[in-house]
Amino acid sequence: MEDENSMFLMEEALEMILVFNEEGVVSYANAAARKKLGYEEEPGSGSGLAGRDVGEVFPNAFPWGGVPGDYTLGGAQRNLVAYRRNRTCFPVEAKVVESLRRPGTYVCMANDILEKEHLGREIGQVREEAQQAAKVKAEFVANVTHELRTPVNGILGNVRELVEEVTDPRTVKALQLIERCCGDMNKIINNILDFSKLDAGKFTLEPRRFHFRNMLDYVKAQHKGRISEKGLDFFVTVSPQVPEYVVGDELRIVQILNNLLSNALKFTAVGKITVQVLRTASVGDKIELFFIISDTGIGIGEADMDKLFRSFSQVDASISRKYGGTGLGLSICRQLVELMGGRIEAESEKNRGSTFSFSVWLGACEEEHREQSPDDVKAVFRQMAHQGQEGAKTGGDARSYGTPENREALKKNLSKLILCIEMENWEKAEMFMETVRQLAEEAPAEVKRGVLRLKMAIQKENYEKAAAEYEKLEQLTAM
């Protein structure tokens, strides 16, 4: 009964089943095998393949004519070529097992994969055509955008000249508006150009050695005015562990920061915008820098978070109506960050604000960074103390207030001090404060009082007060 059932199941199965012995002689082939292999009309047992050599069906896999071989094909599923009776062939996925109940009897189960292969080839062809079409489209967009640049710059140049010439205030205002519109248009054109280059995989980074903090100062200066015009606070802090010089594509890092800061400004009406830069890893001569840009703006709802870094995506239509934009900025940022080996992420809460963070891998110029590590800070102190002694010996004390060396050292230490204050690294701030205090020993009473107040604010770990006192002191010691 059990045998009858399994015979029935084998006969009806959609896959081809062949049973054969260790000489390769087929004793049974199910209906699917007979049909696909063209042995249906074979007179006799109804199993037209019976008595034939399995090597006739799979000549590339099994030996012919009773030559012994590994009939299990290593027990794994294999791609074979099955030959029909008329010697045409088709691909199959086949597996052979040895019967447990009847050792020396093998069962081969094979599926015709001709259609699957055809389908695979068709999919490949469709994909290739789609890629080709996308490429043509991207090239067209890139060309058109490039062509747009010339007339926009033409208008811009002429308008600038006219602004210089005309005196009528209404005309000046109109021309300035045209100038601003051309600027905006240029930004959009540049975004589309970058986007199509990135999309076509034609974008290449141009790494160069640059002064990291100067780059950040430049970014800060670009946004400071508009941020304070809106009445927002703006803080930029860099961890002392970030080297002075790094190797990377400065322009593109500026572009990412500009984009994130413009968004932060666009979507924030009250509160503050902060930028923090940390060094998070180093491997060989490469370092990972981590940037955090936070705002206290309108935020982004949870449901919209996954749309953020997709091209042309804005959270909703009302946002684009109210705030403008093309929805390309963050997608470009994501692609640039990924080209620099990093990741970009966002965290946000509706009506509470957003934090965008990204990492990039850059080349480190450690020799420029030496004085940043704690050990080297000590070395700097030692050197300064030494300078002091040498100065005393030679009669020109470098620590005396007013000498160029003294003022230079004071300037350097004050700028390090503000970094520590902004990072709220009070321990380090106290160390720099002590140096500043020594350097200001000979200073006028006014400066010394400023130093004392700043020192107290730092010892109390009071950020607001320390930052305010710092500003006052910086003005007093400005050169």
Which residues make up the interface to ligand ADP (CB under 6 A)? 259, 263-264, 267, 295, 297-300, 308, 314-315, 319, 325-331, 354
Amino acid at 182: C
What is the β-pairing status of strands 272-283 and 245-248?
Answer: unpaired
Nearer to ligand ADP, 107 or 193 (CB): 193
Nearer to ligand ADP, 223 or 369 (CB): 223
Beta-bridge mates of residue 248: 208
CA 265 to chain centre: 22
CB contact at 8 A, 436 and 413 = yes
Using CB positions, name the residue nearest to ligand ADP.
325
Residue located via tokens 């140049």: 157
Residue 75 carries which DSSP code?
G
| Least distance between ligand ADP and beta carbon 141 (Å) | 17
Nearer to ligand ADP, 24 or 353 (CB): 353
Among residues 334, 317, 290, 361, the alpha carbon closest in space to that of 194 is found at 334
Nearer to ligand ADP, 31 or 148 (CB): 148
| Least distance between ligand ADP and beta carbon 353 (Å) | 8
Backbone angles phi, psi at 236, to 5 degrees: -125, 125
Nearer to ligand ADP, 30 or 263 (CB): 263
CA 391 to chain centre: 51
| Least distance between ligand ADP and beta carbon 305 (Å) | 10
Nearer to ligand ADP, 191 or 406 (CB): 191
* Cα 396 from Cα 227, distance rounded (Å): 46
Amino acid at 1: M
| Least distance between ligand ADP and beta carbon 144 (Å) | 20
Nearer to ligand ADP, 223 or 455 (CB): 223
Residue 443 carries which DSSP code?
S
Cα-only R_g, the chain = 38
Residue located via tokens 């602004």: 163
| Least distance between ligand ADP and beta carbon 470 (Å) | 28
Question: In the chain, how many H helices and how many E strands?
Answer: 15, 12
| Least distance between ligand ADP and beta carbon 301 (Å) | 10
What is the β-pairing status of strands 233-238 and 272-283?
Answer: parallel
* Cα 346 from Cα 355, distance rounded (Å): 6
* Cα 52 from Cα 217, distance rounded (Å): 85
Nearer to ligand ADP, 45 or 320 (CB): 320
| Least distance between ligand ADP and beta carbon 315 (Å) | 3
| Least distance between ligand ADP and beta carbon 324 (Å) | 7
